[in-house]
């Protein structure tokens, strides 16, 4: 069945620089090279202020997109967020509408080059050139996000370098007299102009549709998008100041090549050539970024059965082959059949509506209180930031007039028809908003929590998660005889009660109740009983190896009746503080990830002692074991206190195994012959230790 297929994930190839370049390149095009002349006709020299005001409504949307993208780094961006927050109907509307709006922007950028090309080749047919560039960019996209990201970095670096020359040269020819009668157009005209140029900034958020392909999205997405917005604001501020300061207002108003005109005043004919090259780079950059982002929408929707399954297939380079072909083909049709210069402006109102819904989606996800909703970056000033982000786009849409609103409504109706005609019977998924309803006594959708837990597992631990420390100090039971689950729980509770402020009886009750409610995961012969409590100060873990197995009753999570049983050889009991549920889930996800590795079962079965059992779980690059022996590189540690041993920065001796006993050492512990040290730390520090003490191995 299609529903059972596990979709292939896209390769994580995009670095921070790629994210920054894609977000910046998607922003600096028509908004800088075409719109200032049109904006001057409406606002006069106050177009500078209009550009600054236009950035304000984007800020809530950007922070909301960052939060959702770091919680759910999946292809599809706005589509995926709306689908998981509100359900597949709004997801379909958002996906189809945003995809089409992006394509119109790409076509607009490709045709927009015509104004600058005509400065040098007046008779060159623009549409064939635009189609050729679109096909070339489509081929680059087919060979991978890494290649497209590399192209984008080159384009943006070239663009920013030329713009820096332009801004520097323009500063020497600046005419303050051009700013006289700054507010002559009136406040209403300035606000209306801000609504028109607002679309200049929205490209910053488009990189979210590529979040599945971003390395370390919790770090790189926020940094890349925020840096891109700051860069764009500075370029628009400096650029519009220079343009107004160089070009007389009468010449600037209605000018479709305002940057080239300004460059002529500042740098002469060479300036016109240089800034025309910059314009080419900008338009190709926004087209590349738009095509890269747009092609992920059919892929994501196909995974969710909202469009035909062919669009989820990946080609030989690991890219969504058919989704890119559909995106490219549609762009070519738009170029050949329509006038993108007029239609693209209509799509701006739809994008504004989507931004409002994205802000609302953050409210829904947070208020759903799904434990596995775990954004790596949380939007500041919640919920006021989101409320402002919901209201301001609708105000700008109202200012844009009736035709863009009608166009947006048409997109909504068309996407709704597709949903009810094709997709509705293929999906049973609902959104996080049902979790909000559940809090009011209605219903919820459990599959979303399951999906988010899978994303948690994929994202892995965060730097502040004390997983290594928890495992290193964990209690260990190595059972040689067959045992029942209740008996094991009793033994664990007795020992665990000495570490946490809970009685053994209460620990037993919590674990057994969780098992009856179906909250104890069982996978690959391993059970993960767990719970959280407000009286626990720090997370603790107990590892149990059952050589002869433990039989565990399995319960239906809905009826809570026993329906099956499972035999397990390993049990990992985890208890955590109540106030950090997402960290608790990340630790569980890390255990499950380790258990799924092929090496785990063999290492667990062959472990010689409790220290080996701990190391089975710590099997990663953040720990190592050192044996202290004479006539070995570690001989210099003998008879020294631990505080006297020179460990690299960030490394810690978490456990010491001596004469069959494990304990947590302190600085006064004197190291002796035969000691085995479990050391945790950063990769660089551990590499230094291995080089110093394991060089003979």
Contact residues for 48 (Cβ-Cβ < 8 A; gap 6+): 237, 240, 241, 244
What is the structure's pLDDT at 437? Answer: 46
Please, is 460 exposed, middle or buried when counting C-beta atoms within 10 Å of its C-beta (0-12, 13-18, 19+)? Answer: middle
| Interatomic CA distance for residues 650 and 648, integer angstroms | 6
Cα distances (angstroms) measured from residue 102 to each of 78, 94, 199, 345: 12, 12, 12, 11
* 476 beta partners: 543
User: What token pair was written down for 659?
Assistant: 């004469």
What is the structure's pLDDT at 145? Answer: 56
What is the structure's pLDDT at 590? Answer: 83
Residues of the chain with pLDDT under 50: 1-5, 433-444, 696-697
| Interatomic CA distance for residues 276 and 284, integer angstroms | 12
What is the structure's pLDDT at 697? Answer: 44
What is the structure's pLDDT at 635? Answer: 86
User: What token pair was written down for 220?
Assistant: 């790189």
Length of the chain measured in residues: 697
| Interatomic CA distance for residues 123 and 129, integer angstroms | 12
Residue pLDDT, tens place only, 380-422:
999 999 999 998 888 877 776 788 788 888 888 998 999 888 8
Identify the residue whose tokens are 């479990």: 678
Kindly compute the dihedral angle of the four CA atoms of residues 336, 340, 346, 350, in this order, to the nearest 10 degrees: 70
What is the structure's pLDDT at 4? Answer: 42
Cα distances (angstroms) measured from residue 458 to each of 165, 335, 592: 44, 40, 11
* Other beta carbons less than 10 A from residue 184's beta carbon: 12
Residue pLDDT, tens place only, 284-343:
877 877 787 888 888 888 888 888 888 888 877 777 888 889 999 998 998 888 776 566
What is the structure's pLDDT at 211? Answer: 79
Cα distances (angstroms) measured from residue 420 to each of 69, 184, 330, 424, 426: 28, 51, 23, 5, 10
Residue pLDDT, tens place only, 151-182:
777 878 888 888 888 888 888 888 888 888 88
What is the structure's pLDDT at 343? Answer: 65
Please report the domains of the chain, with CATH numbers, ordered by start residue.
11-425 (1.20.1740.10), 460-619 (3.40.930.10), 621-697 (3.30.70.1450)
What is the structure's pLDDT at 541? Answer: 92
SS in 3 state form for 391-437?
HHHHHHHHHHCHHHHHHHHHHHHHHHHHHHHHHHHHCCCCCCHHHHH
| Interatomic CA distance for residues 335 and 108, integer angstroms | 9
What is the structure's pLDDT at 204? Answer: 82
Residue pLDDT, tens place only, 449-491:
566 666 666 666 777 778 878 888 888 898 888 888 888 999 9
Q: What is the pTM of this model?
A: 0.71
What is the structure's pLDDT at 255? Answer: 82
Answer for the pair 411, 100: CB distance below 8 angstroms, yes or no: yes
| Interatomic CA distance for residues 280 and 510, integer angstroms | 65
């Amino acid at each position: 069945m299609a529903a059972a297929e596990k979709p292939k994930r896209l390769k994580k190839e995009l670095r921070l620089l790629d994210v920054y370049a894609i977000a910046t390149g998607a922003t600096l095009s028509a908004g800088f090279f075409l719109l200032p002349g049109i904006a001057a006709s409406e606002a006069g020299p106050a177009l500078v202020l209009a550009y600054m005001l236009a950035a304000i409504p984007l800020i809530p949307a950007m922070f909301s997109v960052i939060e959702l993208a770091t919680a759910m780094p999946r292809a599809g961006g706005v589509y995926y967020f709306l689908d998981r927050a509100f359900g597949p109907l709004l997801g379909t509307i958002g996906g189809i509408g945003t995809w089409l709006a992006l394509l119109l922007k790409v076509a607009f950028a490709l045709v927009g080059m015509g104004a600058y090309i005509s400065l040098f080749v007046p008779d060159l047919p623009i549409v064939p050139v635009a189609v050729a560039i679109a096909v070339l960019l489509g081929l680059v996209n087919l060979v991978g996000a890494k290649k497209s990201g590399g192209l984008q970095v080159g384009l943006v670096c070239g663009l920013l370098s030329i713009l820096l020359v332009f801004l520097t040269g323009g500063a020497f020819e600046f005419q303050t007299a051009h700013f006289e009668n700054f507010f002559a157009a009136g406040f209403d005209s300035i606000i209306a102009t801000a609504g028109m140029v607002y679309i200049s900034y929205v490209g910053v958020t488009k990189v979210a549709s590529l979040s599945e392909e971003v390395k370390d999205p919790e770090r790189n997405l926020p940094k890349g998008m925020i840096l891109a917005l700051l860069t764009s604001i500075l370029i628009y501020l400096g650029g519009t100041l220079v343009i107004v300061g160089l070009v007389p207002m009468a010449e600037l108003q209605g000018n479709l090549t305002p940057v080239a005109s300004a460059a002529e005043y500042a740098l002469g004919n060479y300036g016109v050539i240089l800034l025309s090259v910059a314009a080419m780079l900008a338009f190709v950059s926004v087209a590349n970024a738009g095509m890269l982002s747009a092609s992920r929408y059919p892929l994501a929707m196909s995974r969710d059965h909202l469009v035909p399954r062919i669009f989820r297939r990946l080609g030989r380079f690991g890219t969504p082959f058919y989704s890119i072909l559909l995106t490219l083909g549609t762009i070519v049709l738009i170029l050949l059949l329509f006038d993108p210069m007029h239609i693209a402006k209509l799509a701006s109102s739809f994008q504004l509506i989507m931004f409002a819904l994205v802000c609302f989606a953050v409210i829904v996800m947070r208020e759903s209180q799904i434990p596995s909703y775990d954004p790596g970056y949380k939007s500041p000033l919640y919920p006021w930031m989101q409320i402002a982000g919901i209201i301001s786009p609708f105000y700008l849409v109202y200012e844009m007039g009736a035709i863009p609103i009608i166009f947006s409504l048409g997109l909504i109706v068309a996407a709704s028809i597709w949903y009810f005609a094709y997709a509705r019977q293929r999906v049973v998924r609902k959104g996080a908003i049902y979790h909000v309803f559940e809090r009011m006594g209605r219903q919820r959708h459990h599959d979303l929590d399951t999906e988010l837990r899978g994303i948690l597992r994929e994202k892995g631990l965060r730097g502040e998660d004390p997983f290594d420390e928890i495992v290193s100090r964990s209690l260990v039971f190595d059972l040689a005889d067959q045992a029942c689950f209740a008996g094991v729980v009793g033994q664990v509770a007795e020992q665990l009660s000495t570490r946490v402020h809970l009685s053994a009886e209460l620990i037993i009750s919590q674990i057994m109740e969780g098992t009856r409610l179906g909250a104890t995961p069982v996978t690959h012969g391993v059970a993960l009983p767990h719970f959280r409590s407000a009286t626990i100060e720090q997370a603790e873990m107990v590892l149990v190896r059952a050589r002869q197995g433990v039989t565990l009753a399995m319960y239906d999570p809905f009826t809570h009746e026993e329906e099956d049983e499972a035999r397990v050889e390993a049990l990992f009991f985890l208890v955590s503080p109540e106030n950090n549920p997402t960290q608790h889930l990340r630790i569980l996800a890390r255990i499950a990830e380790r258990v799924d590795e092929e090496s785990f079962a063999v290492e667990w079965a062959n472990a010689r002692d409790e220290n080996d059992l701990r190391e089975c779980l710590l099997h990663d690059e953040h720990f190592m074991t050192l044996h202290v022996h004479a006539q070995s590189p570690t001989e210099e540690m003998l008879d020294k206190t631990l505080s006297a041993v020179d460990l690299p920065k960030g490394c810690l001796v978490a456990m010491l195994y001596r004469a069959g006993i494990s304990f947590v050492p302190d600085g006064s512990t004197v190291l002796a012959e035969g000691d085995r040290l479990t050391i945790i730390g950063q990769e660089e520090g551990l590499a230094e230790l291995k080089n110093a003490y394991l060089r003979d191995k």
